[in-house]
Structure 1
Amino acid sequence: MGFIVEKYWHKIALLGIIFCYFFMFSIICLPAMWTYYKVSIIDYFLATFVGLVSGGLVFNSLLLVKYHNKKEKIESGLPINFIIKIFCGKVVLYTLLLLVLELPINSFFPNLYFVLCLWSGGYFWYCVIRGYIWAKSNKGKKYSDDYSPWIGRLLLIGIILSYLVGFLHLSLN
């Protein structure tokens, strides 16, 4: 992220956006963890944030290695073939990690959740970087009034449903 984003307050704002995505992901997945394990909220959020940040750092490291001296090439957007290779490679790598973790721990759901955190962290990092590049290249352009932020509505509905499922699960047990 450091070679794409030059201004420090942009870096802070992007990290804030990424942590907002991380928090929403953690809230949405909380009832699933309540279903399988009795973990404290602090341990759950800490483990989730560590997994998401690790996944984001893996994506950022791969981006930095591949495009370190090619800043001009990604000014117009991240190449789609690079993104497909990265996320397909990460799916294979994380599936192998899931299988390796499954052998000694023998608890499928937490391992799957950790792998999902790693993959989602990279995806959130990609979405924020892609949005920053898009906003930077379209600076000053007028947008249409029929813009519908469906992802925001979907996240809001997911958080509300997550709380309802968690409440129902806790009240029934």
Structure 2
Amino acid sequence: MADEENTQTTPEAEGTKPQQTAQQTPQMQVLGQFIRDLSFENVAVQKGRALEGQPDINVQVGLEAKKRKTEGQYEVAVKLNVTGKVKGADDPIFAIELDYAGVFAISNVPENQLHPYLMIECPRMLFPFLRRIVSDISRDGGFPPLNLENIDFVALYRNEITRRAQAEAENAPKS
């Protein structure tokens, strides 16, 4: 074997200190993930209805974040409500309610960027696991596996900020 030369540049070689580089880079560690609450109802079977027609799936997403007692740790939850109906019908054929949470250790995120970080980046980390649970539950409940489309957490966050600003403007006292 030929000798290989290590040509990587280190922070010292570039004139920066390692501490400066580490402080500038946001750090996230997933400490744990868990299902807080899960409910699946196969309404069609309970009511003895045949499943005929094209399904119409409605997905609602809610996000929640809170600080934990340990410094730098946060709990972020994605709350998902999925209902399936036959197109043109009002009665649901199934319903899934899932509250899936993760515990994260976060450092090097400026205070003014922490809220968007918690509401965008943390749910992105949880989503593949949440998607698998929904797929497994729908399949095990007697339906084809429901593979959720990707959720744009940035757009979801922006929409919520806009909605809150509009609500505050409407509720502001008129002078």
Give the TM-score of the pair, scaled to structure 1. 0.29
Structure with the bigger RCO (C-alpha within 8 Å, sep 6+) is 1
Give the TM-score of the pair, scaled to structure 2. 0.28
Q: In proportion to residue count, which structure has more strand? A: 2
